[in-house]
C-alpha cells in the first residue's frame, strides 16, 4: 500500500471500493500529501458518534481505530474523523465516507462524485459481461495485441454508448434510460444483417 500511496498526486480524490476500508489507509492517504482526499462506501454496521451536522444527510463523525490496526501501526490515533454523506438514488439510500471538506464540497457534489464512479464501474461491467460474454481473459497472447484488443473493446463500447445516447435523445429520452446490453445486442444484429 505504501508504494500505491506514494504515487497518488496532490490535489486529488481517490475513490475506493468498500473492500479497502481501513483507518490506516485513509489517514495515510490524506496525511502524507497536500489536499489528497478519499471517498469510500460506508461500512455496514459502522459504529460512530456525531461530531458536527452540516445538514440532514451530511455530518462529521468520529470512529474508534481498532486495536488490531493500532498494533500494526502504533502511530495511529485512538479515534479518527470522517465526513458521512447519505443520498438517495433510485429509491435506495447510499452512504459514503470522505475526507472532502464540507466547506468546499457540498453534499450534492460528494454524492455526484461517487455516483460518477459507480457509473464507471457499471461501464466496466458492461464491457466484461455484455461485450465479452463474461470471458475472464483476453484472447491475445502478445503484449501489443493485448493493447490492441483493449483499445478495440473501449472503442466499441464508446461507439455503442454514443449510438444509444443519440437514439435516446432522438426519442426524447435521457441517455441513461437506454440499457447497454440490449443496445449492444441490437447493434451486433444490425452489423450481421448489413
8 A C-beta contact, residue 39 and residue 54: no
Q: What is the pLDDT of residue 122?
A: 77
What SS3 state is found at 100?
Answer: coil
Widest distance between CA atoms in the chain = 66
Q: What is the pLDDT of residue 98?
A: 95
Q: Which residues of 45-69 are buried (b: 16+ CB within 10 A; e: fewer)?
A: eeebeeeeeeeebbbbbebebeeeb
CB atoms within 10 A of CB 128: 14
Q: What is the pLDDT of residue 135?
A: 60
Per-residue pLDDT of the chain (194 residues; tens, 9 = 90+): 677 888 888 999 988 888 888 899 999 888 887 899 999 999 888 899 999 999 999 999 999 999 999 999 999 999 999 999 999 988 899 999 999 999 999 999 999 888 888 777 777 777 777 776 656 567 778 888 888 988 988 898 889 989 999 999 999 998 878 888 888 888 888 888 88
For residues 69 and 1, what is the distance between their CA atoms, to the nearest angstrom?
A: 14
Q: What is the pLDDT of residue 59?
A: 97
Q: What is the pLDDT of residue 137?
A: 64
Closest CA to 3 of 29, 35, 30, 21: 29
For residues 22 and 56, what is the distance between their CA atoms, to the nearest angstrom?
A: 26
8 A C-beta contact, residue 176 and residue 116: no
Expressed in angstroms, the distance from the first to the final Cα of the chain is 51
Residues 6+ apart with CB under 8 A from 40: 15, 16, 17, 18, 20, 21, 26, 96, 97, 98
Q: What is the pLDDT of residue 134?
A: 54
- What is the tens place of the pLDDT at every residue in 154-184? 898 889 989 999 999 999 998 878 888 888 8
Q: What is the pLDDT of residue 126?
A: 79
Question: Model-level pTM?
Answer: 0.68
Amino acid at each position: 500500500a505504501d508504494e500505491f500511496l506514494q504515487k497518488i498526486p496532490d490535489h486529488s480524490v481517490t475513490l475506493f471500493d468498500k473492500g479497502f476500508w481501513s483507518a490506516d489507509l485513509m489517514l495515510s492517504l490524506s496525511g502524507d500529501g497536500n489536499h489528497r482526499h478519499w471517498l469510500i462506501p460506508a461500512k455496514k454496521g459502522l459504529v460512530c458518534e456525531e461530531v458536527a451536522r452540516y445538514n440532514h444527510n451530511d455530518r462529521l463523525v468520529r470512529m474508534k481505530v481498532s486495536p488490531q490496526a493500532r498494533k500494526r501501526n502504533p502511530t495511529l490515533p485512538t479515534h479518527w474523523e470522517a465526513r458521512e454523506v447519505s443520498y438517495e438514488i433510485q429509491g435506495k439510500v447510499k452512504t459514503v465516507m470522505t475526507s472532502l471538506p464540507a466547506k468546499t464540497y457540498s453534499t450534492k457534489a460528494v454524492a455526484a462524485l461517487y455516483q460518477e464512479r459507480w457509473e464507471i464501474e457499471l461501464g466496466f461491467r458492461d464491457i466484461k459481461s455484455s461485450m465479452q460474454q463474461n470471458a475472464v481473459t483476453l484472447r491475445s497472447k502478445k503484449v501489443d495485441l493485448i493493447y490492441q484488443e483493449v483499445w478495440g473493446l473501449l472503442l466499441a463500447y464508446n461507439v455503442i454508448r454514443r449510438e444509444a445516447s443519440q437514439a435516446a435523445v432522438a426519442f426524447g429520452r435521457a441517455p441513461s434510460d437506454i440499457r447497454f446490453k440490449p443496445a449492444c445486442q441490437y447493434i451486433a444484429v444490425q452489423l450481421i444483417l448489413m
